[in-house]
Structure 1
Amino acid sequence: MSEEPVFTRSEWGTNRYVYNHRNPVGLALIIIAPIVAVGAMTGLRNSSRWSEAELRTAVHQGTENLTGSTQYVSPDMHLGTLIRDAVEDSGTGPGLGLDVSRDAVGDAIGDAGHGYTISSADTETEYCIRVTMTRVDPNSRFTSIRQDHYLTATATQGAC
């Protein structure tokens, strides 16, 4: 075993401790520490990006979660946040970095539902989620205010 300590005071005018290259353990730490740091940074970067498969799975799982749910919304409401939350909460992918945009053409269709294009800067594929709403109480005389609606969502590949 070497008599040299693993850590020594820096000779660069600071009062910090540094790895001692004269000790085998200190030398090993000098070599291993940057490798571990680069590996951790690479893993962190990869886990914060959407892959094509993750986005596809998250969109379809989010669509399943929306279908059959009851939401307190109005037919003219922008549902982008609701859709983003459903896709991000699917448990697939990094959970952040989605772009959700409402399809202006789909708004005029009425019965076909509102279309929302889902995309990510990390992928090239876009998905269209169409949401239709059915009032929970169709006999309600209040039609212009928010009320509970059953949602039905469908997902297709490609922009809306």
Structure 2
Amino acid sequence: MNEEPVFVRSRWGANRYVYNHRNPAGLALIIIAPVVAIIAMICLHDSSRWSEGELRTAVRRGSEDLTGSTQYVSPDMDLATLIREVIQDSGAGPGLGLDVHREGKDGGRGYTVSTGDTGKRYCVRVTMTRVDPDSRFPFIRQDHYLTASASEGPC
């Protein structure tokens, strides 16, 4: 029977406990703990990167979620932040690392979505329809129905 404890006080001046290499359980913990930490780091790294399939799914789901929604926006407003949020909330991919920027073509309603992890780019086009078309103030910020469509390639 082994009388050595699993944890012993450190002899390096600090008042802390360390694994005891003379105990078989302590020795196993000395070997297993770094292996588990390395595997966890590898898994976390892989889950923080976008794949092409995840980006495609996130952009399509985000544009579907945006279609039919009512937003308090103005026609000249940049919707890049709104598009980034719906794509991040789609449930596909890590969510972080999206680059969404407005393109000047087609009336300024096209937004190119990409990431640094993939070479793919997607175009999300957004159209707005005022909820109250008879408003006396058509150019101020008000509720709009949004319709979004996604296609592969930049806008």
Which TM-score band applies after superposition, normalised by the shorter structure? over 0.9
Corresponding residue for residue 87 of structure 1: 87
Structure 2: unaligned runs, 5 residues or longer? none
Alpha-carbon RMSD across the aligned residues, in angstroms, is 1.3
Structure 1 residue aligned with 2:119: 124
TM-score by length of 2: 0.94
Aligned mates of 1:35, 1:17 — CA distance in 2:
20
1:111 aligned residue: none
Alignment of 1:96 with 2:100, yes or no, is no
2:128 maps to which residue? Answer: 133
Letter in 2 for 1:122: D
Deviation at 1:48, TM superposition (A): 1.7
Q: Deviations over 1:41-86 (max 9, x none)?
A: 1112122221111111110000000011111111110001110111
> What amino acid is the match of 1:117?
T
Shift of 1:11: 2.6
1:28-107, aligned counterparts within 5 Å?
Answer: 28-107=28-107
Runs (4+) of structure 1 exceeding 6 A deviation are none
Shift in Å, 1:105: 2.0
Q: Which moved more, 1:16-25 or 1:60-69?
A: 16-25
* C-alpha distance in 2 between matches for 1:13 and 1:143: 74
Letter in 1 for 2:55: L
CA distance in 1, matches of 2:145, 2:54: 27
Measure how far apart 1:13 and its partner are. 3.0
Query: Aligned AA for 2:62?
Result: G
Q: Which sections of structure 1, spanning at least 5 residues, go unmatched?
A: 109-113
CA–CA distance in structure 1, aligned partners of residues 140 and 6 of structure 2: 71
What is the total number of aligned residue pairs between the two structures?
A: 155
Counterpart code for 2:18 = V
SS at match of 1:45: helix
